């Protein structure tokens, strides 16, 4: 699938003013307040990957803040963000071909060397604006990264389809491209959608079990059998596999809640998860609202 923008093109924000504030000052204040409320997990190892939700900040912002507090102030060579496509269906994996993504907090440049290396590894990974034009799953992660990491380079990846084979191939391409570098992998995903509260919690706890067991293949198999739900299940699996190839040996959920915990409306809720994948991780209690 060919690119339709120049390499110098910067992607403008598609969801500022809806998923998060359009004002830079307000956005900084809101993210900092969420990070202040979040509890930093105890970790004895390097954080190689995280899972963060991608709903509007008023719903999932605090859950996302728990994930980003785990990496606050860490220096990474680059960040690889993997999200699902909500608005466009296409086969394969799309990486934005331009020079960066812009949010109200500024422009984050793309790591061209890593992007090129990932594309070279797998023919179903290509440069294209497909999946990036109106997509929020990658974009909503960036302001949190801007407030926790400061300046950084990144690679924005959107999965058009989420088969286990594609997850494995993407994980192999990422891990091969960045091997030997200190890179943070971010899986952008919400969990179950629009079930009654108790049913949603039951479904979401199955995902939690697979994350904490560090079993990405079984997670994907159970998602395929509709035993659980995650709109970014493929990104979670790909990040788990890639982090594992880079040395991660433990996965832990940091915080879980759903929209019913936020709004009080529990007839049809959406689940939110923050988790991390590390080399050697000390125990800490799961926080469930």
**Stretch 167-187: mean pLDDT, rounded?**
98
Q: What is the pLDDT of residues 159-172, one digit of tens each?
A: 999 999 999 999 99
Predicted pLDDT at 108: 98
Q: What is the pLDDT of residues 136-150, one digit of tens each?
A: 999 999 999 999 999
8 within some domain = no
85 within some domain = yes
Question: How many domains in the chain?
Answer: 1
Contacts of 157 (CB under 8 A, 6+ apart): 80, 81, 82, 83, 93, 94, 95, 118, 125, 138, 170
DSSP element (H, E) containing 127: strand 125-127
Q: What is the CATH number of the domain that holds 246?
A: 3.40.830.10
pLDDT over 80 (residue 287): no
189 in Cβ contact with 54 (< 8 Å): yes
DSSP 257: E
150 within some domain = yes
pLDDT over 80 (residue 204): yes
For the chain, what is the mean pLDDT?
94
DSSP element (H, E) containing 168: helix 164-178
Q: What is the pLDDT of residues 23-52, one digit of tens each?
A: 999 999 999 999 999 998 876 569 999 999
280 within some domain = yes
DSSP element (H, E) containing 172: helix 164-178
Task: Give the pTM.
Answer: 0.94
Predicted pLDDT at 2: 52
SS3 call for 23? coil
Using left for φ > 0, alpha for ψ between -120 and 50, and beta otherwise, residue 70 falls in alpha
3 within some domain = no
Domain that holds residue 64: 28-288
Contacts of 112 (CB under 8 A, 6+ apart): none
Predicted pLDDT at 4: 62
């Amino acid at each position: 699938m060919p690119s339709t923008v120049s390499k110098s093109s910067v992607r403008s924000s598609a969801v500022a003013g809806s998923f998060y504030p359009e004002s830079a000052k307000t956005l900084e204040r809101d993210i900092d307040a969420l990070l202040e409320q979040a509890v930093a997990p105890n970790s004895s190892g390097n954080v190689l990957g995280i899972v963060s939700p991608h709903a509007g900040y008023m719903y999932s912002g605090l859950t996302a803040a728990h994930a980003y507090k785990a990496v606050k102030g860490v220096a990474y060579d680059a960040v690889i963000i993997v999200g699902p496509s909500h608005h466009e269906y296409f086969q394969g994996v799309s990486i934005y071909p331009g020079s960066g993504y812009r949010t109200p907090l500024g422009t984050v440049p793309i790591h061209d060397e890593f992007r090129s290396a990932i594309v070279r590894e797998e023919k179903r990974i290509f440069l294209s604006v497909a999946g990036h034009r109106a997509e929020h799953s990658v974009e909503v992660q960036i302001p949190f990264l801007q407030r926790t990491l400061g300046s950084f380079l990144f690679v924005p990846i959107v999965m058009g389809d989420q088969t286990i084979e594609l997850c494995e191939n993407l994980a192999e391409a990422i891990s091969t491209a960045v091997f030997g570098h200190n890179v943070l992998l971010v899986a952008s995903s919400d969990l179950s959608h629009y079930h009654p509260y108790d049913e949603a919690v039951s479904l979401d706890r199955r995902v939690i079990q697979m994350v904490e067991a560090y079993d990405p293949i079984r997670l994907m198999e159970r998602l395929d059998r509709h035993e659980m739900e995650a709109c970014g299940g493929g990104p979670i699996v790909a990040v788990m596999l890639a982090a594992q190839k880079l040395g991660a040996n433990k996965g832990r959920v940091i915080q879980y809640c759903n929209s019913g915990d936020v709004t009080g409306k529990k007839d049809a809720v959406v689940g939110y998860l923050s988790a991390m994948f590390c080399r050697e991780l000390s125990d800490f209690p799961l926080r469930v609202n």
